[in-house]
Structure formats: structure tokens, C-alpha cells
Structure 1
Amino acid sequence: MAIFSLNHSFIGRSTHAARSASFFARYITRPEACTETVGERMPTDRAVLMSWLDDQEIGDRKNARVIDKLIVALPVELSHDENIALLHEFGERMTEGRASWVAAIHDGPGDADNPHAHIIFRDRDAETGRRVMMTTEMGSTRRFREGWEQEVNIALEQAGVEQRVDRRSLEDQGLDREPQLHVGAGAMALADKGYEFESNEKEVTRLFDGKAEPMTINYPVIDEDKTRFEENQERIARNAAREQEEFEPNVDWTHRGGMVAQQWSAIAWVREANERAERLYQQTMNGQTTDDADPADALVVEEHMTDRAVERANRELRREMTDSKAEVWEARMSDFARTLRDATEQERERDRDGGIEF
């Protein structure tokens, strides 16, 4: 299924070694991984691209940002040509058709399960040399993420795919699921061969308030003696357990010891099932979609809606019967009161005739 993944970083003259931009371009366009290179106002030929980036770097001031680079996940639901069109729309949108960009597509056999693209942006107007994208300003990563989310969803809609991507975190989406870690094809191959990975500290450059600052990432502490591959596999297992608990709560209650324990487990299972049916019913009544629900939920909602309709009908019938009984009882009481009054008056008349006064 289509997923949202975008990583934004940069290469600067003062933060990276000379020719880092051209070496990065050489890496992402290597023939064994790159199936096609597309772009506008930037060379797509590998050798020409490297030479062009070197020339641009030499002409920059000594503290300038040479390039911005993105890694984006391509929707597996789209074809190679559709992903090319998606990248073109995104590139032209972010550069406003003025700055330069190039994208290296990795969707070959080695990346069949993980199609992605590396995008290089050069934030300079191709004609005037002025900045266009303002990628050194705060909020540039957010703008990249918003633009990619929107363009991906437009491409999926045009292709007739119902799936959509969401740039928000899983927590903000209200999903009880841990985010998975990206494990590259090379790391996966090494893990399959039993390679023992090691965690080491790494010197990196990060943006703080728009300024590049060096920092050290202490991976041994972060990893907690686990490799990236191992941690990701554990997250996948935990997420699978959460999903099973959500859709199949306490399904094994009949095997628990003790009649009382089984009864309480069964009651809890029925309560959770009813609560879920009620949530789905309310969503349906409010016009909300339940596309992310289990296919069987449609039948559950239909049955629940039928039960609710029957319940309302029975409640109205009981109310009508109650109102009718009240009216009859009121009439009967009135008749009884009139009879009692008449009897009392007659008795008083007899007493008066007998000379008894009250």
C-alpha cells in the first residue's frame, strides 16, 4: 500500500567536503540502482550532472547551501510512468518552474518492494540566480511534506486508486501503531546473511532555527544494543499484535480456566464487539467513511442499524401502549370516581330522609 515517507537534508559548502554534491549525484544515479533520471533546468546525464554541480558549487559563496536533497517513497500502486509524472508535478510545484531539480528513480528489481526516488533541488532561479524555494528558511521541510502529500494523493486519485497518504504522525492520525524504521535493501541483504551490525557515534549536521549546526548522534545509546533491522522487526510484531487485539479481542476466551473466568471474558468480548458496532454505526449515520475497517464491518453495521431500528420501533410501541394504558386507566378512574360520588350522594340522601344530619 502507498505510504508517506519523505526525508529532507542538504549539502553546504561550509558543512560538507568539496564536491559532496556531485559525489552524491554520482551515487544516486548509479546504473545498478537507478532506472531513470528526470528533471528540469538541471542535466540528467550522469557525467554532465556531476560537472554542472561542481561548477555551481565553485560559483557559490563559501557558506552557501549547494543543494537540498530529498528521499521520497513512491506509491507501489502507480506504474513507472505514473511515478515519473508524479515527480515532475512535484518538482515543478516546489520550484515554481524556475529553480533546477533532478530526480533519480529507484524502482528496479532490487527495489520492487521499496520504490523510491532521490531528488536534488538547486534553490536558484535558472535565469536570475535568485533564490526561489527559500529552503534555508524555517518551515521548508514542512512545505516539502505538504507538497508531496498533496501531489501523491492527486496522482492516486487520477489513477483510480482509493488509497491515500497522510503526512501526519501516527499519533496525530489517532492510530495506535509504532512507526517502522527504514531498512535499506543493502542492510536487508546483509541481515539475511547474518552480518553483525555495530552502533557507532556519528557526526552530522542539523538545522536549528534555519542555521546548520554540527552535532553527535550517540547511536549506541539510542539503539539499546539492538540493530536497526532487529528493532524494526520487533515493531512490526508489536503492531501486528495490536491489530489482532483490536479486531479480535479475547477470541481465545473459551480456553481460559474456570467457568467464572470464561463468563467474564465472554461478557468483555461481547461488550467490545457491541462498542465497535456502535462506533461504526455512528460513523455511518454521520456520513463518515469506514474504508479502513474490516470488510466484515459493513455487515456488522447493517445488522447493528437493523437492531437499532427494531429497538426504536419497540420503544415507540411500548410508549404508545403505555400512553394508551394511561388513558384507559384515567378513564376508568374517572368512571370509578363518578360512581363513588353518586353512591355517596345517594347514601347521604337516605340518611337525611332518616333524620341524620352531617
Structure 2
Amino acid sequence: MASPHHDWMIYSRSRGQSAIAAAAYAARIRTWDRRYVPEPQDHSHKTDLVFSGILLPPKAPSWMRDRRALWSAVERREDRSTRPEDAQVCRGKVVSFQRELTMERNILTLLQYLEEQYVARGIIIDFNVHDAEAEDGGRNWHTHLLATMRVVGPDGFGLKNRAWNGVNFRPRNGSRPHALRDGMLLQQRAAWSDYVNAAFAEAGLDIRIDHRSLKAQGIDRMPQPRLGKAKHAKGQWAQQRRDEVRDVAAYNGARQQARAGQRAAVKGKGAGIVAGAASAASTARHDGRVASAPGRGRHAQ
């Protein structure tokens, strides 16, 4: 089933996160700098990485194509920020590929999207495409994206470009941070849908994805949470996540069955009315209570 899944997040030291740890996980390699990742993490045993690369804007120095050099430089630059202990080091996204398209077409669509929507704005993108097993037994093609947050030039990183955020980090009424209505993040979700839908059209497929919320689309269904790492993880949080996914699926399934039952009842009621009217008309004709319409039938003059 075509999916618009396009998550994003901010990696922040205040939450114990590191750009190096995030890059190592996505690229399926071992972490390399204990100043920022004290406990080494090795992901090289995982075999689902199928394509990987770093896209640089024209002003970025070529040495930044080296993943270790790039993210070490990002971490060192944040050491000189106003509050290094709480620094936001990079932005990350997980973008779902479409099963209806080939892996090659998905990758071409992704690269075009990244070059035109991010790199053209001066953002460095580290991308890693994974081919994992999906919860339904099929293939879960997706890509992990890491994006820099500072303006880059020949001498390295400068100030952060706040225009790239597009996020209101002052939650409303205690809610989570939300994307601004016209912010860059929301624009990128819409743009990704456009690129994917264009690929569907070129492939002759009558399929489309929609980045908007179910409510905005007028769909009466509770958003289905993703199981993610909780599928195989242990602990209370993982069990709670599995329970949530199950409960939402059961709720949506019950709502769908209820709506189907209502439609069937309405259809059956309508069919019953028509059948009743036909039966009454037939009885009336046999009783001689219904004459033919004027100008038609045997009584026409």
C-alpha cells in the first residue's frame, strides 16, 4: 500500500543524542569518537543497507563527503555554541519508499527530491537506504536522512539557519512541538508527496499519496501508530507501544465494520422499499386498481 510516511526529528544533546551515533546507526557502521559517544555502538553486523551517500551543496568543502569527518565537525562546532550541553546537532527523517515502484525508481525519486529541496538550500544530506522485513512479511524499503542545521561554507559551519526549522518549539497547552502551517517541514512533506505521485504517474499507476492528516482529508479514522523498534524490544514501554498499536487497529477495524453494516442496512432497507412497492403495484394490477397511463396500453384511445 502506498505510504506518505515522512517522519522527522531533532537530535539534541539535552536528550542524550549525538549526530555521530545517529550517523553510525543509519550507515550500519561503528561509532568512532568517544567524546560524543562514550559507549561504543557497532551496527556493522546488520545487512539491510543497500545504498548510501552524502550530498553536498556547492559551497561545502569536499572533505565533508567523508561521513566520519562530517559529523565529527558538526559535533565540534556545537561545542562552541552558547549552550553546548543542550545543543541541537542535526535533523533526521525517515522516509518510506513505495512498494508499487522498483527500488531503483524509488532511489531516483529520492535523489531528485533531496537535491532540489534540501541541497539547493545549502543543507548537507547524509542518506542511507535500508531494505528490511515489514510487519506484514513484505519488504520495508525506507531511507534514513540526516541533515545539517548550520550554514556551510569553504571554512566549515557557520550560524544556524532558523528558516530551516519550520517548527514552533513552544508547545500549545502542553502539547508536543508542532510544524508551522507554512513552515519548511510541512512544505517538504507536501513536496515529497508531489515527487512520489509524479513517479506513480510516470509508471502508469493510478495511485496517489496525500501528506495531509486524516482529519484534513475528511477521513474518519484514528491515525495508526507505527510499531517500529517495539516489535522486538523488551520492557514496559515496548509492551505499551504494542498494546497501543493493537488497540488502535482494533478500534479502526470495528469502526470500519460498523460503517459497512450501516451501509448494508441502508442498502437493504432501500431494496426492501423497492421490493415492497413492486409487490404492491403487482397486487394492485391484478386487482384491477391500477389503469394504464393515459395514451399508453390497451385503454389508450
TM-score (norm 2): 0.63
The answer to whether the aligner puts 1:11 opposite 2:11 as a matched pair is: yes
- Helix, strand or coil for the counterpart of 1:134? helix
The count of corresponding residues between Structure 1 and Structure 2 is: 229
Task: Report the Cα offset of residue 69 of structure 1.
Answer: 0.8
Structure 2 segments unaligned to the other structure (5+ residues)? 29-43, 168-182, 273-292, 296-301
Deviation at 1:35, TM superposition (A): 2.1
Instruction: After superposing the two structures, state which structure 1 stretch, 30-39 or 164-173, moved more.
Output: 30-39
CA shift in 2, pair 1:152/1:132, >3 Å: farther
Q: Which residue of 2 aligns with 1:187?
A: 230
- The runs of 5 or more residues in structure 1 that have no matched partner are 201-225, 252-264, 275-320, 325-358
Q: Which amino acid aligns with 1:234?
A: D
Deviations 1:165-186 (A, max 9, x none): 11111122111211111111x4
1:66-110: per-residue Cα shift (whole Å, max 9, x none)? 321111222121221112112112211222534211211122346
State which of 237, 240, 243 in structure 2 corresponds to 1:230: 243
Give the stretch that moved more between structures: 141-150 or 131-140: 131-140
Q: Is the CA contact 1:69–1:118 (under 8 Å) kept in the aligned structure 2? A: yes
Give the aligned partner of residue 135 of structure 1.
164
CA 1:177–1:137 in structure 2 vs 1: closer, same or farther (change >3 Å)?
closer
Counterpart residue number, 2:143: 117
Q: Counterpart in 2 of 1:149?
A: 193
The answer as to whether partners of 1:37 and 1:105 remain within 8 angstroms in 2 is yes
**Distance (whole Å) between structure 2 residues aligned to residue 270 and residue 62 of structure 1:** 69
* Separation of aligned partners in 1, 2:146 and 2:271: 50
Select which of 62, 65, 71 maps to 2:81.
Answer: 62
Give the number of the structure whose alpha-carbon radius of gyration is greater: 1
Q: Within the alignment, does 1:270 sit opposite 2:268 as a pair?
A: yes
Structure 1 residue 244 displacement after superposition? 2.8
Q: Deviations over 1:238-277 (max 9, x none)?
A: 22232233334376xxxxxxxxxxxxx6xx4434789xxx
Matched residues, percent identical? 24
Q: Distance in 1 between matches of 2:119 and 2:20?
A: 24
| Structure 1 Cα separation of the partners of residues 222 and 270 of structure 2 | 23
Letter matched to residue 99 of structure 2: V
Q: Partner residue of 2:24? A: 26
Report if aligned partners of 1:107, 1:114 keep a CA contact under 8 Å in 2.
yes
Partners of 1:11 and 1:68 within 8 A in 2: yes
Q: Quote the Cα distance in structure 2 between the aligned partners of 1:76 and 1:135.
A: 30
| Cα distance change on mapping 1:110 and 1:241 into 2, 3 Å | closer
How big is the alpha-carbon RMSD for the aligned residues of Structure 1 and Structure 2?
3.6
TM alignment of 1:89-108, pairs within 5 A: 89-97=112-120, 98-108=122-132
Distance 1:7 1:273 in 2: 47
**Superposition deviation, residue 62 in structure 1:** 1.0
Q: Which has the higher helix share?
A: 1
In structure 2, how many angstroms separate the alpha carbons of the residues matched to 1:236 and 1:77? 23
Q: Contact 1:23 / 1:50 at 8 angstroms: preserved in 2?
A: no
Scaled by the length of structure 1, the TM-score of the pair is 0.54
Query: 1:51 aligns to what?
Result: 69
Matched to 2:96, the amino acid is A
CA distance in 1, matches of 2:267, 2:99: 37
**What is the identity, as a one-letter code, of the residue corresponding to 2:187?**
R
* Structure 1 pair 272–151 and aligned structure 2 pair: CA distance change class (3 A): farther
Superposed CA offset, 1:299-338 (max 9, x none): xxxxxxxxxxxxxxxxxxxxxx78x9xxxxxxxxxxxxxx
Aligned to 1:87: 110
C-alpha distance 133-92 of structure 1, shift in aligned 2 (>3 A): farther
1:119 Cα deviation from its structure 2 partner: 0.5
Between 1:117-126 and 1:175-184, the stretch displaced more is 117-126
